[in-house]
Structure 1
Amino acid sequence: MIVEFILFFVAQNVAEKGKNSLALPLLAAYSLLSGYTLSGLVFVALRTEGVGIQGIGLAALGCGITFIAARQIGSNLSDTDGMALTKTINLGIIALVVVVGLQFVFALFGVYTPGWLEIGISALGVFLFAGASVVDFYILPRTYRNDQYLPAALSMYLTYINLFIFILRLLIALNGRD
């Protein structure tokens, strides 16, 4: 997980500097590594009764529908509304990272999250990353030039992979853990 974070920040820094020939292999390595870590969650989803392959398909469909809706909403936001939404979603994601980090630390010591709290955290994550997808469509054309397609793609990738993860977490929490 630490290597994944380091690789993300290095790839993002290289991509923002416009060194696409170096950034592309770094981003490919990052997506392979994040796919590997995601496979554990997919395995749990497949083994959870009531989720299975249908739940994975539902999470993917939810991401696709969110993408379509977010494009329409985010592209039509005024500057005042877009900046207000951006700041609100950023604060929410910071809070979510803190909560999930605490949840991870507690799990290391054998303290697991009660089911109702897991449902709440997962639902909040779905809500925040659906909002982040709207923010992406508001921010990307205002932030990146046409030649900065890799950092823009990385931003979108992170939003949708996290949305997928939190939808799966929510489905697993709603259907009970093994």
Structure 2
Amino acid sequence: MSNTSNFRQAIREAKDQALVGPNVIKNALPYVGGGLILTAVGTYAGLNVLQTRPEIFMTTFWVALIAELALFFVARGIAVKGNNGTALPLLATYSLLSGYTLSGLVLYAIGTVGISSLGIAALGCGVTFVAARQIGSNLSDEDGMALTKTIRLGIIALLVAMVGQLIFGVFFGMGANPLLELAISGAGVLLFVGAAVVDFYILPRVYRDEQYLPAALSMYLTYINLFIFILRLLIALNRD
């Protein structure tokens, strides 16, 4: 959910602006793919720990999560300044840690829905990419800005709902409400499909061609979150 912080700045910088980086998405795509591969490696490592040393997983999970959050802000700041040589290994490490922290959800999805859930989520991300590229690249300025603002507000509302769900679960001992989980998961899928469209509209208006790493990070976050919410939706739909 870290990319919620990018929307306000993106709207401000992109408003009434022509393309400043017409090739930035093309330049970013290899790094998006590389990040996703590293995330898969990190997830595999987490699954291995869960199966062989489950007693240490939660400790390593929290360490990885804290390091992941810190790396996000540090690496993004460096990448935006154009220091790609320094930012790249930090972003690679971030991708590995992101996969590690995702492994618990992946294992739960496999146990609840089956390993096919991973294929469905990956296919959903792939279909979204193809459709979003066509739609987002051809949006008018009026429609693009309106969609960007709508998605930003929607993701903020989604984050508030998830925090509320967590608070009620932890502090009030209330189990996960199946209908609420279904609603949050479905909304998350729709919002990040919309965010994928927004990426193709707004990134070339915010980043220059040589700023491909922050653009890649934005796209990476969109598809990781979409993958997560598709898994959550599949789990919610398969609960008894």
Aligned sequence identity (%): 71
Residue 55 of structure 1 deviates from its aligned partner by 1.1
TM-score when normalising by structure 2: 0.71
Show the counterpart of 1:169: 232
Which letter maps to 1:67? F
Correspondence for 1:16: 80
**Paired residue secondary structure (2:93):** helix
2:132 aligned residue (70, 77, 84): 70
Deviation at 1:105, TM superposition (A): 2.6
1:80 maps to a residue whose letter is E
Task: Choose which of 18, 30, 54 in structure 1 pairs with 2:94.
Answer: 30
Q: Deviation at 1:127?
A: 0.3
- Which of structures 1 and 2 has the bigger CA Rg? 2
Once the two structures are overlaid, the 10-residue window that deviates more, 29-38 or 105-114, is: 105-114
Q: Which runs of 5+ in 2 are unaligned?
A: 1-64
Cα RMSD of the aligned pairs, angstroms, is: 1.1
Number of equivalent positions: 175
Residue of structure 2 in register with 1:126 after alignment: 189
Determine whether 1:42 maps to 2:106.
yes
> Is the Cα–Cα contact under 8 Å of residues 59 and 168 in structure 1 kept in the other structure?
yes
Q: Distance in 2 between matches of 1:62 and 1:13?
A: 30
Distance 1:16 1:85 in 2: 24
Residue number among 121, 143, 149 corresponding to 2:212 in the alignment: 149
CA distance in 1, matches of 2:74, 2:168: 29
String of CA shifts for 1:93-116, please: whole Å, max 9, x gaps: 011111112222333233222101
Name the residue aligned to 2:162. 100
Letter in 1 for 2:178: G
Bigger relative CO (Cα 8 Å, ≥ 6 apart): 2
